[in-house]
Amino acid sequence: MARKELAKAYEPWDVEEKWENHWEENKTFSPDPDGPGDSYSIVIPPPNVTGVLHMGHALNLTLQDILCRFNRQQGKNVLWVPGTDHAGIATQNVVERQLKEEGLTRHDLGREKFIDRVWDWKKEKGDHILSQIRRMGASVDWTRECFTFDEQRAKAVREVFVKLFEEGLIYKGDYIINWCNRCHTALADDEVEHENKPGHLHHIKYSLSDGSGDLTIATTRPETMLADTAIAVNPEDERFNHLIGKTAILPLVGKELPIIGDTYVDIEFGTGCLKVTPAHDMNDWELGRKHNLEIITVLDEDGVVNENAPEKYQGMSVLEARKAVMADLEAEGRVVEVADHEHSVGVCYRCKSTIEPHVSTQWFVSMKPLAEKARAAVPADTQIFPEHWTKTYYAWLDEIRDWCISRQIWWGHRIPAWTCEECGELTVTIDDPTHCSKCGSAKIERDEDVLDTWFSSALWPFSTLGWPDDTKELAKYYPTSCLVTGFDILFFWVARMMMMGLQFKGEVPFKHVYIHALVRDEKGKKMSKSTGNVIDPLDMIGKYGADALRFTLTSFAAMGRDIKLSEQRIEGYKHFMNKIWNATRFAMMNLPDEIPAVDLKDADGLANQWILHRLEEVKKSLAEATEEYKFNEIAQTLYKFIWSEFCDWYLEMIKPALYGEDETAKAATQKVLWTVLSETMVLLHPVTPFITQEIWSVLPRPAGDDRPDDIATLPFPDMRDECLNPDVVKEMELFMGVVSGTRNIRTELLIEPAKKLDLLIKTVSDADRTVLENNMNLIQSLARVNTVSIGPDVVAPKASGAAVVQGNEISVPLEGVVDFESELARLDKNIGKLEKTMKGVAGKLGNPGFVNNAPEAVVEGEKKKLAEMEEEKTKLVQLKERLESVMG
């Protein structure tokens, strides 16, 4: 059989598609629940079907894949479940926009045909995100792909809803909710984003009913005063506590408002008097319930003033009503002051429209009983990494409010509740009923609302494993091992999965939660389309390959620290992929078709013994870093070992053995070279799966090596304690120090690379002398020197370049090598030219006319130019001083 060869250059695109298809067709990542090995399982945070891969997804997928591939290497029975989220509001918005272009609305189609239309869209474009996940090389089990709105997940959702309802943890009632006028649906508290926006604090006079004076109220929303039902003051506020129990007149409306006392009122904020509008403010709602106040709604679901307000304001928008109310108050002389005031405004996380608090009949989950269990489980049963996110998790659970789970849209899990038209009885059941559970009437109507998308995704760790059915997957892989996610859904998703897992499985849904940081641009700014600083992962894969992108993200994924990403960094790690490829090609040219059967213990020579020792250290470091989620250390360890040690030192040091005539030394070196290269590919595989798979598939093997061609199925390399040799590290450091020191002398003194030098080494011990003498030929080759003199009595001439390595003095005689006078003259000339140019640039920067009038980029360019010249001058001056010291 002809020997397989590597292409001359690494072209990741052909390699990636080939192995993506191979793994999926061969079901490489589809585990058998009855198979051997302890379970290790991860559920993918399901991206929205409307979404496209962004850099946060790319980081998340890379880290999960590292964990899954590493744990397969450890012999674990690994399941990584893929899937997508039906994204109720977002998906419905996409399809409604399509209908709008056709001059239609969802109501023109009707509910059933509209749902069919959304399913058609999902089949056509909703799986686009999955193909992008494939391009990242994610080792998920595609045979178990899930969707939060598929049949099995729908079965789980129904079961959970009914059980929570029967246990009194789901209820229906009037409550103040976050309402989006644009999306026409309720939103949970954590679906509301808060933005600081400029506004005004309006100070308005309310007259006391008995005519004894006025109270000044401060409000940011004067239009809602039309729905005021009380005025509140703090009972500890000596300015106003004597008014508690009296009444005041509501301006523009004329009704009497009770003055109530409550410690909720902040004495220091505004005027210390608070208008209470229970229907249009979350905190006022609580005051209203506490003090049994009337609830009046003056804004409808479109954000328009309704019939409960005075007639002249009816039909106005919020902003129109605000303007009209303030004009009328001004006319009555009731406006005391209008002050600028920046305040936090809630906006819809989907469409960014301003949220209106709105009283509505909705479905809720009673959260406190569930939250108590979820809080107690951390860190007793579930650990959060980094640990500081635990406090944030606790804070949200401690302040939790009931979860509004109903949404006024059509795409989603429809609430399984039916109301009898005859007797009003509410029937909640797993199977669709045909008649009323109380009176038996067939006239029952199903609730129109659907469930919040997060309700179905809260069940993800066990619904993806087949719950409520009793499946082998559920028995084997629940609880899952680790959840990798971003901090932004710690509340939306992580905490709710904890609650549901504990409630329905009696166990936490995952043992570890790893919260990864944000991927920002190179200046630390958050990526956004509006600022134009987005780096598209698919573009980067197209330019540099998936492995280069994955390695870049891994190398900067330090726990708790945001990633500053630039395209240049990804390009840099593409060069690393090329380095690995070229090193392998060199190895392949020097390896026989069948690897020699040499015992590694018999591989002599400093290079062989040192690289085998370092390989063992790398194995240990990688295993520890992966177990501790120190992803950046995984990349840094591999990069240093492959580039700096294996390529830059080991491959150079073994060339004499590979090219020499000593067949015994050659065979031993070939065995070490093959061992280190092949095992390094296995170690590197979790981070860069494609290039390592391609290399593994062409590497020759020793006789009897029947391991498969699929590197993804190989175990983590065994440890070889017999190869550990700390003494060889010290010897190698001495050798490297001598070679590097000699090279540095050449570089610092600008000696041409081709000029051969002599090297003198005054040793401090017999052991060091022996090491250096045993490797003299290598020193001559790598340091490019003619002769090497080694010993305790070596004396260097006066004109020498010198360095010290572990106490040993190395010297390079410079007589006849460097023309000191000419070199000093040249340096003086260059320093003079540089100083003249620097003077011109400094003068320009010292000119206020230039600095104030030139474009900022031009000014910054001149500053950068001056800094670079100053750095260059420093180097030239240091070189001059070095030459003068050598001469003197």
Q: Is the pLDDT of residue 2 over 80?
A: no
d(CA 71, CA 80): 11
Is residue 212 within 8 Å of 249, Cβ to Cβ?
Answer: no
How far does CA 409 lie from the centroid of its chain?
31
pLDDT at 190 over 70: no
Cβ neighbours of residue 283 under 8 Å, at least 6 residues apart? 264
Supply the pLDDT for residue 1: 46
- pLDDT for 341: 86
Q: How far is CA 4 from CA 7, 584, 698, 705, in A?
A: 10, 13, 5, 16
Sign, CA dihedral 461-464-465-466, equals positive
Rounded-to-integer distance, Cα 759 and Cα 781, Å: 12
Provide the 8-state DSSP code for 714.
Answer: P
Close Cβ partners of 784 (under 8 Å, ≥ 6 residues apart): 746, 753, 756, 757
Q: If you write DSSP's letter for every residue of 513-554 in order, what string do you get? A: EEEE--EEETTSPBP-TTTT----HHHHHHHH-HHHHHHHHH
Q: Assess contact for 414 and 88: CB atoms under 8 A.
A: no
Structure tokens that stand for 50 in this block: 């409307």
CA 52 to the chain's CA centroid: 15
The DSSP-derived string for 822-856 is: HHHHHHHHHHHHHHHHHHHHHHHHT-HHHHHHS-H
Distance from C-alpha of 67 to C-alpha of 391, rounded to nearest angstrom: 25
Phi, psi dihedral angles at 206 (to 5 degrees): -110, 130
745-802 pLDDT, tens digit each: 888 888 888 888 999 999 999 999 999 999 999 999 999 999 999 999 998 887 788 8
Residue-level pLDDT at 290 = 87
CATH number (3.40.50.2300, 1.10.3720.10, 1.10.730.10, 1.20.1250.20) of 540-724 reads 1.10.730.10
- CA 41 to CA 39: how far, in whole Å? 6
The average confidence (pLDDT) of the chain is 92
Q: Which residues contact 337 (CB under 8 A, 6 or more apart)?
A: 202, 203
φ, ψ of residue 357 in degrees (nearest 5): -60, 135
pLDDT tens, 563-585? 899 999 999 999 999 999 999 99
Compute the average pLDDT of residues 637-660.
97
CB atoms within 10 A of CB 87: 24
Query: Three-state SS for 561?
Result: coil
Query: In the numeric block, which tokens belong to residue 823?
Result: 């070199």
Token pair for residue 109?
Answer: 């189609």
The angle subtended at Cα 467 by Cα 463 and Cα 469, nearest 5°, is 150
pLDDT at 173 over 70: yes
Cis peptide before 479 (omega within 30 of 0): yes
Structure tokens at 129: 């995100």
Which pLDDT band, with edges at 50, 70 and 90, does 529 fall under? confident
CATH fold label, 185-356: Isoleucyl-tRNA Synthetase; domain 2 (3.90.740)
Output the CA angle 168-173-176, nearest 5 degrees: 125
Distance CA 135, CA 433 (A): 46
CA 541 → CA 383, 546, 548, 565, distances in Å?
34, 5, 8, 14
CA-based nearest residue to 802, from 794, 811, 793: 811
Give exposure, 229-257, as e/b (b: 16+ Cβ within 10 Å). bbbbbbeebeebeebbebbbbbbbbeeeb
What is the rounded distance in angstroms from the CA atom of residue 708 to the CA atom of residue 682? 13
Q: Which residues contact 861 (CB under 8 A, 6 or more apart)?
A: none
Q: How far apart are CA 425 and CA 29, in angstroms?
A: 50
**Around Cβ 679, how many Cβ atoms within 10 Å?**
19
Q: Are 288 and 276 in contact (CB under 8 A)?
A: yes
467-502 pLDDT, tens digit each: 999 999 999 999 999 999 998 888 889 999 999 999
Q: Is 40 helix (H, G, I), strand (E, B) or coil?
A: strand
pLDDT of residue 358: 86
φ/ψ of residue 34, rounded to 5: -90, 0
Question: Which residues 6+ apart lie within 8 Å of 321 measured at CB?
Answer: 223, 226, 305, 309, 313
Whole-number pLDDT of residue 888: 60
pLDDT tens sequence across 601-613: 889 999 999 999 9
Cα 559 from chain centre? 11
Instruction: Give me the architecture of the 820-887 domain, per CATH.
Output: Orthogonal Bundle (1.10)
Cβ partners under 8 Å of residue 537, min gap 6:
53, 54, 55, 57, 58, 136, 549
Place of tokens 């540099």: 544
The superfamily CATH assigns to domain 38-169+368-402+451-513 is HUPs (3.40.50.620)
Q: E-assigned strands of 401-531?
A: 403-404, 406-407, 417-420, 426-428, 444-446, 450-451, 480-486, 510-516, 519-521
Six-digit token pair at 445?
């109507």
Task: Identify whether the C-beta of residue 10 lies closer than 8 Å to the C-beta of residue 577.
Answer: yes
Q: Which residues contact 348 (CB under 8 A, 6 or more apart)?
A: 180, 182, 183, 187, 191, 192, 193, 355
What is the C-alpha R_g of the chain?
36
Neighbours of 531 (CB within 10 A): 10
User: Minimal CA–CA distance to 511: which of 38, 33, 30, 145?
Assistant: 38
On whether the CB atoms of residues 591 and 599 are closer than 8 A, the answer is no
- Residues 748, 882: Cα–Cα separation, whole Å: 8
Q: Which helix (H) or strand (E) holds 572?
A: helix 567-589
Q: Is pLDDT of 646 > 60?
A: yes
The residue assigned the tokens 């294996």 is 646
- In the chain, % of residues over pLDDT 70: 99
pLDDT band at 91 (very low <50, low <70, confident <90, very high): very high
529 is in an annotated binding site: yes
Residue of 876, 790, 789 lying closest to 828 (CA atoms): 876
- Supply 195's token pair: 């933005």
Token pair recorded at residue 838: 């620097």
pLDDT value at position 179? 85
